[in-house]
Amino acid sequence: MKLKSSTLRTFTTLHTWVGLVAGFALFVAFYAGAITVFHHDLMVWQSPHAVEQPVGTLDDAQRLLDETLTRHPDARNWIGMMFPGEESAQPLVYWPDAKGTWYYATPGDLDGSTEPPAAALAELVNALHYSLGIPVAGIYLMGIVSLLYGVALVSGVVIHLPKLVEDLFALRPGRNLKRFWQDAHNLIGVLGLPMHIMFAATGALLCLALVVALALNPLIYGGKLMEAMPAALDTAPQMAAAGKSQTLGGLAMWHARAQEEARKQGLAAFEPAYLKLTHAGDANAVVEITGEAPRTLGALGAVALNANTGELVASQLPGNRDVNHATLSIAYLLHFGEYGNAWLQWLYFLLGVGGAFLFYSGNLLWIESRRKKRQSEQGTAQVWMAKATVGFCIGVCVAISAAFVASQLLEAHGAAWGIDVATGIKAACFGTWAACLAWAALRPPIRAAVELLCVAAVVTALIPVVHGAMTDAWLWQSTAAGHTALFAIDAGALAMAAGFAWLARVTRKRADIGEPNSVWASPRRG
C-alpha cells in the first residue's frame, strides 16, 4: 500500500502531537492500571494477616447488617454490603449519613469508620488510573484523553501500514539508539494494537458515559435524563418509602432467591457478591443483589427483590439485559480483565507496563527527532520536555512504590503516630511525586533520569522488605503457605525493582557513550 507523502506527513504530525498531549496522562493510566488489575489482592496485601482470616458466613453478615441498622438509623435509608468471599473474607457494610459522609463497618468495628478497612492503597492506585487522582474533573479528563488515545492509534496505524510487515519485527539494537527506540515503540504498539483499541474505546465509554447521555438528553430522553438515569444504571427502580412498617427479610432468603431467579433465566450458577438495600423496615424496602455468573459474557448481573417478601422486582442478568446494562457490564469487564483467570491478569499487567513504555518512548523519540546534531547546546523545548518526562513518568513510579511502603508502615504504626492510614498513603504518594518533579526540574535531564531510576529501584525493592518486617509475611513464608496473592505482589515488586535498576544502568551508559549532542548526553562530555 502506497500513501502520498503529504498524507503521511499529516498523519505523522497528528500522531506526534496527540501522543504528546495525552502521553503523560496515559503513562500514569497504564502504569497504575497494570497494578490495579490486582485490586482485590492489594487489599489482602495491605491488611496485616488478612490472608489468615477465616471466611465469614451468611450468619456473620446477618449479624453485622442487623447491628448496623440498629445502631445507625441513617443506614436504613440506603446501605450496601459486601458478602464474605474471595474479595473480602469478612462482610463489610457501608452507608452515607445525612450529610453525605460515607461510613464503613465490619464485625470487628460495629461503630463504623469513615475509611474502608485495608482499601486505601488499592483505591489510590485505582484513582490514579481513572482520574490521575484528581477529584470529580479527573474522570472526564481521562475520558477526553482516551479519545485522543484512539486518534493516536488510528494515525499510528496509517503511518506504519505501508511498511507494517517489513518493520514489525525489525528490532535493531546497536549504537543508533533512536532507531532502536523507534523499533521498540513500533513493535509494542502494533503487537498490542487490538487491546489498545479496546482500552481506548472502553476507557472513553466508562469515563464519558454521563457526558454522552447529557448530550443526547434532548434527543433521546426528552429532557428528562435525571429521571431516566436510575433505570439506565441500576437494576432496582427508585421507590419512595411507603411510610408503613414491615418486617425485613434476611440475607439467607435474599441469597437463595437471587440464585433461584438466575436459574429460571438459564444461568447454571450465580454467586452473590454485594447488595444494596433501601428503606429497610418499610413496606417498600428493595434489595438489589449483584453477583457473578461464571462462563458468561459480561459475567456481572443483578437481581432486585422486595426485601420483605423476596418477590422479584427486576433483573439484569447475562443473556437477559437491556442494551445499557449489557454495554456497561461488558465494557467494565473488558477494561479491567475481570473475565479470566490469573494468566489473563498477568497478561493485562504486561500490557499495562508495555503501554506505559509506549508513551514514555514516544516522548523520547520526539526529543531525539528535534536534536541539534551539530551543537552540544540543545533547545529549551527539548530540555524541558526531557525534564518533564523524567519527573512525571519516572516520578509516578517512585510515588506508587512509596505509597506501597507507606501503607505497611501506617497499618502497623499509624494509630500510634496519630496518622490516618488513607491520608498518610496519599501524602506519601503525591508528596514523593512532587519531590521527583522538583528534582527533575533542577537537575540535567540525564542525571535526573539515572538518579530517579535508582531511587525507583530502591523504593520498589523495599516493598517486600517492609511488608515482611511489618507482618512477618516474608516472601518465602508466603510461598510455603500457598498465599499466592502475597507472593505475586512481593515477587512482582522485586522484578520491577530489577527492571528499574537495569534501566538506570543502560541510561547511564547512554550518557557516557551515546551521541554527545543530545539532552541525554552527560554534561561533562559537552
Q: What is the pLDDT along the chain (526 residues), one digit of tens a residue?
A: 555 666 656 656 666 666 677 788 999 999 999 999 998 889 889 886 666 677 788 999 999 999 999 999 999 999 999 988 767 778 899 999 888 889 999 888 888 888 777 788 999 999 999 999 888 888 888 888 888 888 777 777 776 666 655 555 555 555 555 566 566 666 666 667 788 888 888 888 888 877 766 666 665 666 665 665 666 667 888 888 888 999 999 999 999 999 999 999 988 889 999 999 999 999 999 999 998 887 776 678 889 999 999 999 988 888 888 777 778 888 888 888 877 777 888 888 988 888 888 888 777 777 776 665 555 565 677 788 889 999 999 999 999 999 999 999 999 898 899 898 889 999 999 999 999 999 999 998 889 999 999 999 999 999 999 999 998 889 898 888 888 888 999 999 999 999 999 999 988 887 777 667 677 767 665 4
First CA to last CA distance, the chain = 44
Question: Do 167 and 279 fall into the same domain?
Answer: no
Q: How many CB atoms lie within 10 A of CB 499?
A: 16
Count of structural domains, the chain: 4
C-alpha distances out from residue 390 to 58, 118, 125, 180, 227, Å: 50, 31, 20, 19, 47
Sheet with 92-96, edge to edge strand ranges: 109-113, 102-106, 92-96, 78-82, 271-278, 286-292, 300-306, 312-316
Q: 257 is in which domain, residue-wise?
A: 216-336
CB 456 within 8 A of CB 502: no
Question: Do 322 and 356 fall into the same domain?
Answer: no
Question: Do 191 and 90 fall into the same domain?
Answer: no
In eight-state DSSP terms, residue 3 is: -
- Predicted confidence at residue 485, as pLDDT, reads 85
Residue 45 cell numbers, joined: 496485601
Helix (H, G, I), strand (E, B) or coil at 119: coil
Question: Do 242 and 330 fall into the same domain?
Answer: yes
DSSP bridge pairs for 306: 286
Give the Cα separation of 64 and 69 in Å (integer): 9
In eight-state DSSP terms, residue 161 is: G
Question: Do 244 and 126 fall into the same domain?
Answer: no
DSSP bridge pairs for 93: 81, 105
Give the Cα separation of 331 and 335 in Å (integer): 6
Question: Do 328 and 390 fall into the same domain?
Answer: no
Question: Do 109 and 243 fall into the same domain?
Answer: no
Give the Cα separation of 377 and 200 in Å (integer): 38
Give the Cα separation of 494 and 206 in Å (integer): 33
CB 316 within 8 A of CB 325: yes
- Predicted confidence at residue 128, as pLDDT, reads 95
Give the Cα separation of 483 and 393 in Å (integer): 32
Question: Do 303 and 349 fall into the same domain?
Answer: no
What's the whole-model pTM score?
A: 0.85
Give the Cα separation of 253 and 305 in Å (integer): 10
Helix (H, G, I), strand (E, B) or coil at 111: strand
Question: Do 321 and 392 fall into the same domain?
Answer: no
Give the Cα separation of 202 and 330 in Å (integer): 9
Spatial CA neighbour of 463 closest among 402, 419, 506, 517: 402
Give the Cα separation of 398 and 404 in Å (integer): 10
One-letter amino acid for residue 405 of the chain: V
| Inter-residue long-range contacts of 318-325, CB under 8 Å, 24+ positions, other chains counted | 318/267, 318/293, 319/265, 319/266, 319/267, 320/265, 320/266, 324/232, 324/233, 325/235
Give the Cα separation of 377 and 104 in Å (integer): 57
Q: What is the CATH number of the domain that holds 285?
A: 3.10.450
CB 317 within 8 A of CB 265: yes
Question: Do 90 and 148 fall into the same domain?
Answer: no
Last residue of a domain, one of 75, 96, 117: 117
In eight-state DSSP terms, residue 271 is: E
Give the Cα separation of 78 and 95 in Å (integer): 6
Question: Do 389 and 510 fall into the same domain?
Answer: yes
CB 155 within 8 A of CB 14: yes
Concatenating the DSSP letter of every residue in 285-328 gives: -EEEEEEE-TTSSS-EEEEEEETTT--EEEEEBTTB--HHHHHH
Spatial CA neighbour of 313 closest among 287, 349, 352: 287
Give the Cα separation of 279 and 75 in Å (integer): 9
C-alpha distances out from residue 4 to 9, 10, 213, 488, Å: 9, 10, 39, 50
One-letter amino acid for residue 131 of the chain: S
Question: Do 363 and 405 fall into the same domain?
Answer: no
Q: What is the CA radius of gyration of the chain?
A: 26
Give the Cα separation of 305 and 314 in Å (integer): 7
Name residue, grid cell 507507606: 406
Give the Cα separation of 129 and 392 in Å (integer): 15
C-alpha distances out from residue 270 to 33, 262, 397, Å: 28, 6, 39
Q: E strand or H helix at 113, and its extent?
A: strand 109-113
Give the Cα separation of 106 and 116 in Å (integer): 9
